[in-house]
Amino acid sequence: MRCLTLAELLQGRGADARFVCRAHGGNLNELLHERKFPVSALPSPRSATISAIDGDYATWLGVAQGEDAEQTIAVLEDSRPDWLIVDHYGLDAVWERLMRPHAHRLMVISDLANRPHDCDVLLNQNYYNEVLEQYAGLVPDGCRLMLGPRYALLRPEFEQRRRTKEKRDGRVRRVFVFFGGTDQGDVTGLALDALCDPEFAALEVDVVVGANNARRQTLEKKISTRQRTRLYGRMPRLAELMAEADLAIGAGGGTTWERMCVGVPSVVVSIAENQEPACKALSESGLIRYLGPDSHVGTRVIRDELRKCLAEPASLAEISARGQLMVDGLGAGRIAEFLDPTPAQSLRLRPANAGDAGHYFHWVNDPVVRRQSLRSEPIDFAEHQSWFAKKVAARQTRLFVMEAGELPVGQIRFDREGAETRIDYSIDPLFRGRGWAKSALALGLQEMRREGATIFRADVKESNPVSCAVFRKLGFSESSSTAGSGIRVFRLDATARRREA
């Protein structure tokens, strides 16, 4: 589904997208056809390619990947796409090296830093502590790493619901239950047993049961005995259901980022081993309430956690706010923009608003921005919120967001101090190197001149030659600075230029 989300965004930008999928059981090829995407279906794998031979996993994996690559090359028919994007747990650098000559660039989507890759871009949308270090030696030099849920490939409706949902107060009135398509551990049933306790009778409950859930009839009977409970089947309006809930009980994995995006705090049970590291890291950071793997969780554990949630609205409200700060729902748009850049002449500025506080927070705390700032230590969000609210309301300050399409890609701030107007700007780290800093400054200067500003100043660290070069290109002159300060001062006086003319 995440590749489909990305493909639809790229298609909306005018790109041609096609899928190469293997025709194994449970594939989504029909769905892809319904969405009007060309699909090349590779044959179902032989049994020898889907189980290890004599325990020699490395040998088996290499042989299987060679066969897969050969079949993929055949269906590509020398088309050599601009980007070949692979999302597959069983493929690694062996397959990627074979595919290299058949694509201009290669992007890997992976949730696990457990195997080597030969790619230009690697996306891991999971949340781990020290995830960057985990890829040391696993990717080539120069590989662009996109790490963390800020790049989560969510469908657009989650970001839309996020924008229209009011801030949560932490009180629990409606609960959303969803444990994926199969839920082999029947955690859905355990959650329903807990919610059937009389002390939770007043709660509204929405339950989603996947089409492949073998216990569906049993779950339907349980739901029929509980008032204020609704059952939803395959492909419901998940964004809407999540957004309306005050608390979710669900699995780890991709739905974690969907829940965080719409701001619903979650009680989480991992239903697969590969979900555990991210769940533990999120729990340690206070972003979810994690109960452990499904093999260790029973009805009593869920019931006890529900009691705590109902008694701690302030905690849930904080989890909601922090989750939305981490996952803004624009990850797929960021990846699409990276793969298919917007022309510089199509960029635009708009005034910043209260909803941009999260964007500014991420930009200001980017490690490169902090190193080049006069104050280099990380900024706390509470402090940032207070500063941002004051700046948005200040008459002497103008904040602008630069957008590529509707995607925020950078900011520029102007502070009037007497006759001078000071400048501060930053570009989203994903889009640096495109020359967009010059575009942001040129657009910003144009806006401020319309408002009567004539003398502009920027203080830039000597260790930031890129910004120094940008100001020079825009006609700023460098004036003397305090010896040993490490700061270069750039000024632009439009009135002086007019007098000279």
Whole-model pTM: value is 0.90
Q: Which residue has the tokens 């339950």?
A: 207
Instruction: Give the model's pLDDT for residue 286.
Output: 94
DSSP assigned state of 476? P
Instruction: Give the model's pLDDT for residue 62.
Output: 41
Question: Residue 242 CB: number of other CB atoms within 10 A?
Answer: 26
Instruction: Give the model's pLDDT for residue 356.
Output: 94
Instruction: Give the model's pLDDT for residue 369.
Output: 84
**One fold for 2-151 and 341-500:** no
Q: pLDDT tens digits, the chain, 501 residues: what are they?
A: 899 999 999 999 999 999 998 877 667 788 888 898 999 888 876 544 433 333 333 333 444 899 899 999 999 988 899 999 999 988 999 999 999 999 999 999 998 888 999 999 999 999 877 777 889 899 999 999 999 999 999 999 999 999 888 889 999 999 999 998 788 899 999 999 999 999 999 999 999 998 778 888 899 999 999 999 999 986 668 999 999 999 999 999 999 999 999 999 999 999 999 899 999 999 999 999 999 999 999 999 999 999 999 999 999 999 999 999 999 999 999 999 999 999 999 999 999 999 999 999 999 998 888 887 767 788 899 999 999 999 999 999 999 999 999 999 999 999 999 999 999 999 999 999 999 999 999 999 999 999 999 999 999 988 889 999 999 999 999 976 665 678 899 999 977 555 444
Instruction: Give the model's pLDDT for residue 398.
Output: 97
Secondary structure string (H, E, C) spanning 431-466: HCCCCHHHHHHHHHHHHHHHCCCCEEEEEEECCCHH
Pick the CATH number of 2-151 from 3.30.420.10, 3.10.450.50, 1.10.10.10, 3.40.50.11190: 3.40.50.11190
Tokens of 375: 């104050």
Instruction: Give the model's pLDDT for residue 482.
Output: 61
Instruction: Give the model's pLDDT for residue 46.
Output: 57
Question: Residue 282 CB: number of other CB atoms within 10 A?
Answer: 25
Instruction: Report yes or no: 219 and 188 within 8 Å, Cβ to Cβ.
Output: yes
Q: Is 186 left (phi over 0), alpha (psi -120 to 50) or beta?
A: left
H or E stretch including 231? strand 229-232
Instruction: Give the model's pLDDT for residue 500.
Output: 43
Give me the residue spans of the domains in the chain: 2-151, 156-326, 341-500
Question: Residue 308 CB: number of other CB atoms within 10 A?
Answer: 12
Per CATH, the number for 156-326 is 3.40.50.2000
Q: Is 467 left (phi over 0), alpha (psi -120 to 50) or beta?
A: alpha
The DSSP line for 332-361 is HHHHHHHHSPPPGGG-EEEE--GGGHHHHH
Question: Structurally, what CATH architecture does the domain formed by 341-500 represent?
Answer: 3-Layer(aba) Sandwich (3.40)
